[in-house]
Amino acid sequence: MNSIKTFIRFTDKLNNKLGAAVSWLTGILVLIVSIDVFLRYFLESSFAALQELEWHLFSIIFLLGAAYTLQTDNHVRVDLFYSKFSLKNKAIINLIGSIVFFIPFCLLVIYSSKNFVLQSFKIGETSPDPGGLPALYILKSILPLSFIFLLLQALVLFFKSLLTIKENKDN
């Protein structure tokens, strides 16, 4: 029981720090988009690398921010019935959802993206666009990495739900 609580604290702290780091990327993304708009509309100039950097930063923010979003319970959901449930019933739903959907999906993405990333590293994949960014394989490696963080947070959700059910909290 103690090791489960240690795992929960460690993972929550890890994903909290990751979320804080990723949040800084949103400011950088806004700055880069602003520069791109200024260059395009006022100086009539554009750079493929700058536009690709925008897409890459957005991808990184979206992927690496997912675990933090799960930790803070801010994912979008249809909340017609769930919000009216007791704490114990919410925990049961979260437990079942974690086991049946969330954890298997994370494992599937991690497994299926492995060769995708390895192949990209092997060929030293870069942007197909002239003037684009090099090292596309670094961005592609974010996919399985982000799902590892998401898997850890899904396990935390599972364990927290299990502890809530076990303690029979029904506030």
Q: Report the chain (171 residues): mean pLDDT per 10 consecutive residues.
A: 92 96 96 95 90 95 96 81 88 95 98 96 91 90 97 97 82 52
Q: So what's the pLDDT on residue 33?
A: 96
Taking the C-alpha atoms of residue 31 and residue 21, their distance in angstroms, rounded to an integer, is: 16
Query: For residue 90, what are the domain limits?
Result: 2-167
How far apart, in Å, are the Cα atoms of 75 and each of 19, 26, 78, 118, 170?
14, 18, 10, 30, 23
Q: So what's the pLDDT on residue 56?
A: 95
Neighbours of 17 (CB within 10 A): 11
Q: Which residue has the tokens 């690398």?
A: 49
Q: So what's the pLDDT on residue 73?
A: 87
Q: So what's the pLDDT on residue 74?
A: 85
Q: So what's the pLDDT on residue 171?
A: 52
Q: What is the dihedral of CA 84, 86, 91, 92, to 10 degrees?
A: -90
How many domains does the structure of the chain reveal?
1
Q: How many residues are recorded in the chain? A: 171
